[in-house]
Amino acid sequence: MALLSSKIPSFLILCSFVFLSLVFATQQCNHHHFSALLQLKQGFDFSYTNRNLSSWNSNDPNCCSWEGITCHGATGYVISLDLGGLWMNGRIDFESVFRLRNLQRLNLAQNNFDPTPIPSEIDQLISLTHLNLSHSSFYGQIPPEIFHLTALVSLDLSYNEYANTSVSLSLKLENPSIGALVQNLPSLSELYLDWVDILALGSESVQPLFLPLPRLNKLSLRNCGLSGSIYSFLSQLHFLSELDLSYNNLSSAVPNFTGTLRKLILQACGLSSSIFSSLSQLHFLSELDLSYNNLASAVDSLPNLKFLTHLYLPQCNLSGSLPSSLSNLTKLQYLALSSNRLSGPIPSSYGNELLNLKVIDLWNNSLNGTIPSSLFSLPSLQKLNLRANQLSGELGEFHNASSSQLEIIYLNNNNLQGIIPRSVFQLRKLKELDVSFNKFSGVVELGLFQNLKNLLLIDLSENKLSVQDVGGNFTFVSFPQFEYLGLRSCNINAFPNFLRNQELLRGLDLSNNKISGEIPKWIWEVGNGALFSLNLSHNVLQGVLPPSPHLLPNPLTILDLSSNMLEGSLPIPSPSILFFSVSNNSLGGEIPLSFCNAIGLTVLDLSYNHFIGQVPPCLGEIGNALIVLNLQGNAFNGTLLQTFKEGCNIQTLDLSQNQFEGQVPRSLANCKMLEVLNLGNNQINDTFPSWIEVLPQLCVLVLKFNKFYGTIGHPLINHPSPLLQIFDLSSNSFEGNLPSNMFKSWKGMMRENKFQTLYLGKPIIGSVYYQDKVSIVSKGLQFELVKILTAFTVVDLSKNKFEGEIPKSFGDLKSLHVLNISYNHFMGSIPTSFGSIKELESLDLSQNELSGEIPQQLTELTFLAVLNLSQNHLMGKIPQSRQFLTFNNESFKGNLGLCGLPLSRKCKDNKGTTPSALSPLESEKNYDWELLWIGFGVGYGVGVGMLFWTLALWRKGRREFYIFFDKILFLIFPSIGL
């Protein structure tokens, strides 16, 4: 009994503890916080989200159980409010938030709240340790009161830029500065200010921003306008584990000293010309992102950062070869050095030492040599991206393929050759394989992919491969379901049968093969009727395409049937179509009005068919989506489209080689994005449309072979067509003098772009790219320029009635490649400024009235391949150096005053006396005797014939003879006026 009584107090204490625990466990939240949360909810709009905070209900007074709410166990005060990722609209009632005075964590990230500044009363939440206001449309100056939140451990104000059609708002940290922000928050461990406009920096160095902060562990200043040197900045942050300074303008510049002093200072500071030398002090660094800066540094060696797992340095203007010291970073998981200027081979040690690598991203560099097969055997590697380099050689077989983690392999756009290794077809986790645009050869049986159950994308295009179908006896049950299949230029003769069973296919490219016959009806059902992109161009497809809408499934967005042998009328595209090309076929008839329903149409190419009739006016009104309209090479007639809407986005308009009449529509001035305008080879009767010259993006203007007349240019337009590259007015009736101010404004023909390799074209959607084409005359030949180099420039004013002197301003067109002003009435001398057009390849000044000597400066044109100065009144000695030694008689014929090679007409003496100084009798002595004998023979025959004819007329009467003789004299000597 005594023992029992001694245990009663312990029992009572235990019961009391359980009772109190139950009381606290079931305690409701503070009633002031309860009402504050309900008031806060009233400002939210849940129209665009499937999460509506239904648990926030006045019928449930225990707000501690509501979604996103955490309370203190003893007091019932709300200490955490987490509304992140709900994507709600509406407004934030901060008065309600500030009533939650005990908040320690506040997360309003990833919502679409009405744009609002961060209120200065934020310091009322003095207990905050974690504050996340990212992705929620806050703007304006970050209030200095935020410095009063001295308990803050994590602060995230990133990605708050707000923009609509009329205004752009961003979050700013101007005064006080970011340095003051960090120094006044001593407990801060994580700071994220991505996309915050740090105006206080300006062009200043980032050096004074930070003091050594032992607690700062994670720092992200992505796209904050940082500039200047990065060295001292990195050296002050010794304890960082994660650093993101991407999308800024940081450089690897070192203190501006020169010579020996500079070397001593660099050595004393532990610096070198490489950005990586300064990283050696960041001993705890695990993640580093400096991508999209202008570091302009050599990748010579890397410090031994034993904790580094993520290294992101794409597009940093890095050069040199890949350092073998990178193999020392044995914990590295992500390596991204894409879009730099790296060269040399990939060290084989990477495949032997970096066993934790999950991602290798080295695309768009100048790496060469072979690909180490050991890379494919890395046990953790999931993605290997080596595309767009200069890698060559064969791919070797690799081991452990069946246990590999590889999911993505991009090797496209290299110089790889040989067969595709069998090991590739054993990568059971492979999802994407792109080896296009290489030199792989051999036969690829599609049945080899049957064991790759996860495979979604294959692109074997543009190699030397012969792809074979799986055969008729193959069972498709176990075959992968692809999402994209690229088999362009794969020597395929028929539609692969396995396509019938592809239910997930969204993109199919069978272009540039040898597929013949009709297009099977089942092809439109591939992908279970959800095919997104279909390219069957450049085959030998025949048959009639009935204009039935059901042939083109609704989801189809890209359809390219160009360069085949299709007949019939135009198929009607679905309303979802964006890219529609049937060019280079034998389709005919008129364009149906139902085309007006394709309101999202971006590219319409009907060129080189047999279409007739008038173009539906709706094509000019189809909406602002249309970028390319190409009707070239048909038999359309009537007037040009007249109604181009305000806000028109057309970039290419090609109506050439038709039978259009009338005038150029002035509504084209609404198309401010117009780059290519080709109206050549029609019956347009109009004056020069000078108002077109105000279009700021115009690069190509072709009006040749029409009935244009009058003068060109406009005196009130000061800077016409600054980007113009191709200007072709040939074969019209233009007249008058050429306005010199016009050529002075053509900046597109003045820039030094000799080595530029971009093409004038436009990305449409995803990887689909429309290539502009234009037919030009160069070097005496007419050809179609399919890929218009942005460096290629042409001026063709031939076969008009221009007169006066050739403007000297032509010499300002430093990058001009072709100049043709033949068959006009130009007078005066050839401008010496032509010698400044160093890129000129073809110059035709023939059939004019030019006089004087050939300027010696033309010999400076070392790229000149074609020169035609024939049929003018030039005189003097032909220059005898450089390119002029390669031209023949045809370049100079019809200029009786010229002498010297290649003409047989020699100059009189070594002093360069010109033939024009000789008497007519002396000049005749220098004529070609062979030509004189031919002329004598012809003259003798004509003379004998005239003698017999004269005698015959004499017999008929002397009067008729005199009349006839007068006519002959008038024909020979019209100026006599008999």
State the average pLDDT over residues 477-482.
83
Q: How far apart are CA 882 and CA 856, in angstroms?
A: 11
Q: Which two tokens stand for residue 346?
A: 């990939």
Q: How far apart are CA 905 and CA 912, in angstroms?
A: 13
Beta-bridged to residue 611, according to DSSP, are 589
**Residue 774, pLDDT score:** 66
Identify the sign of the CA torsion 647, 676, 793, 687. negative
Nearest-5° Cα angle at 815, 759 to 843:
110
Higher pLDDT, 491 or 961: 491
Identify the sign of the CA torsion 35, 39, 41, 47. positive
Torsion, Cα of 534, 535, 539, 545 (10° steps): 50
Q: Which two tokens stand for residue 959?
A: 């009067």
**Residue 186, pLDDT score:** 86
CB 78 within 8 A of CB 66: no
The tens digit of pLDDT for each residue in 713-737 reads 766 556 667 888 899 999 999 999 9
CB 487 within 8 A of CB 461: yes
**Residue 947, pLDDT score:** 44
Neighbours of 205 (CB within 10 A): 18
Containing 967, the helix (H) or strand (E) segment is helix 958-972
pLDDT of residue 923 exceeding 60? no
Does residue 897 sit in helix, strand or coil? strand
The tens digit of pLDDT for each residue in 803-825 reads 999 999 888 888 899 999 999 99
**Residue 164, pLDDT score:** 58
Which positions ≥6 away from 582 have C-beta within 8 Å? 561, 562, 566, 570, 571, 605, 606, 609
**Residue 920, pLDDT score:** 37
Torsion, Cα of 291, 297, 300, 302 (10° steps): -40
Q: How far apart are CA 495 and CA 502, in angstroms?
A: 13
Q: Which residue has the tokens 């993640």?
A: 287
CA nearest to 450, candidates 421, 420, 430, 436: 430
CB 607 within 8 A of CB 634: yes
pLDDT of residue 210 exceeding 70? no
Q: Which two tokens stand for residue 329?
A: 């970073």
**Residue 277, pLDDT score:** 63
Residues of the chain with pLDDT > 70, as a percent, come to: 77
CA nearest to 814, candidates 830, 796, 833, 797: 833
CA nearest to 111, candidates 88, 95, 131: 88
Nearest-5° Cα angle at 867, 865 to 868:
150
**Residue 965, pLDDT score:** 45
Tell me the CA end-to-end span of the chain in Å, nearest whole number: 163
State the average pLDDT over residues 923-933.
42
CB 372 within 8 A of CB 324: no
Q: How far apart are CA 858 and CA 705, in angstroms?
A: 30
Q: 245-283 burial, b for 16+ CB within 10 Å, e for fewer?
A: bbbbebbbebeeeeeeeeeeebeeeebbebbbbbbbebe
Query: Which domains are delineated in the chain?
Result: 459-582 (3.80.10), 590-670+682-686 (3.80.10.10), 936-976 (no CATH)
**Residue 412, pLDDT score:** 96
Does residue 144 sit in helix, strand or coil? helix
Does residue 711 sit in helix, strand or coil? coil
Which residue type does 794 have? V
Which positions ≥6 away from 216 have C-beta within 8 Å? 182, 188, 189, 191, 210, 237, 239, 240
pLDDT of residue 147 exceeding 80? yes
pLDDT of residue 941 exceeding 80? no
Identify the sign of the CA torsion 954, 958, 963, 965. positive
Task: Kindly write down the DSSP assignment for every residue of 490-544, as one continuous string.
Answer: S---S--GGGGG-SS--EEE--SS--EEPPPGGGGGTTTTT--EEE--SSEE-SB
Q: 484-513 burial, b for 16+ CB within 10 Å, e for fewer?
A: bbbbbbbebeebbebbeebeebbbbbbbbb
For residue 51, what pLDDT band results from cuts at 50, 70 and 90?
confident
- Kindly list the strands in the beta sheet with 44-45, ordered across the sheet, starting from the edge strand earlier in the chain: 44-45, 89-90, 112-113
Q: How far apart are CA 497 and CA 731, in angstroms?
A: 53
Does residue 132 sit in helix, strand or coil? strand
For residue 251, what pLDDT band results from cuts at 50, 70 and 90?
confident
Q: Which two tokens stand for residue 437?
A: 């645009």
**Residue 840, pLDDT score:** 92
CB 253 within 8 A of CB 278: no
CA nearest to 433, candidates 384, 497, 394, 377: 384
Which positions ≥6 away from 309 have C-beta within 8 Å? 286, 287, 331, 332, 333, 334, 356
Identify the sign of the CA torsion 874, 880, 881, 887. positive
Helices (H), 408-479: none
Q: Is 869 exposed, middle or buried (0-12, 13-18, 19+ CB in 10 A)?
A: buried
Q: How far apart are CA 207 and CA 230, in angstroms?
A: 8
For residue 961, what pLDDT band results from cuts at 50, 70 and 90?
very low
pLDDT of residue 952 exceeding 50? no
Strands 603-605 and 628-630: parallel
Which positions ≥6 away from 534 have C-beta within 8 Å? 508, 523, 556, 558, 559, 560
At residue 875, φ and ψ (nearest 5 deg) are: -145, 170
Report, in this order, helix, strand and coil percent for the chain, each rounded to 5. 25, 25, 55
The answer to which of 557-566, 592-601, 695-704, 749-758 has the lowest mean pLDDT is 749-758
The tens digit of pLDDT for each residue in 892-910 reads 999 999 999 998 888 886 5
CB 722 within 8 A of CB 701: no
Q: How far apart are CA 419 and CA 888, in angstroms?
A: 50
Q: How far apart are CA 629 and CA 601, in angstroms?
A: 10
CA nearest to 684, candidates 645, 732, 643: 732
Q: Which residue has the tokens 């495949």?
A: 351
The tens digit of pLDDT for each residue in 657-676 reads 999 999 999 989 889 899 99
**Residue 551, pLDDT score:** 55
pLDDT of residue 856 exceeding 60? yes
The whole-angstrom distance between residue 482's C-alpha and the CA centroid of its chain comes to 27
The tens digit of pLDDT for each residue in 291-319 reads 998 888 777 767 778 899 999 999 999 99
Beta-bridged to residue 81, according to DSSP, are 69, 106
CA nearest to 417, candidates 395, 445, 399, 389: 395
CB 320 within 8 A of CB 298: yes
pLDDT of residue 359 exceeding 60? yes
Taking each helix axis from N to C end, the angle separating 929-956 and 958-972, rounded to the nearest 10 degrees, works out to 150
Q: How far apart are CA 225 and CA 244, in angstroms?
A: 13
CB 373 within 8 A of CB 397: yes
Neighbours of 977 (CB within 10 A): 6
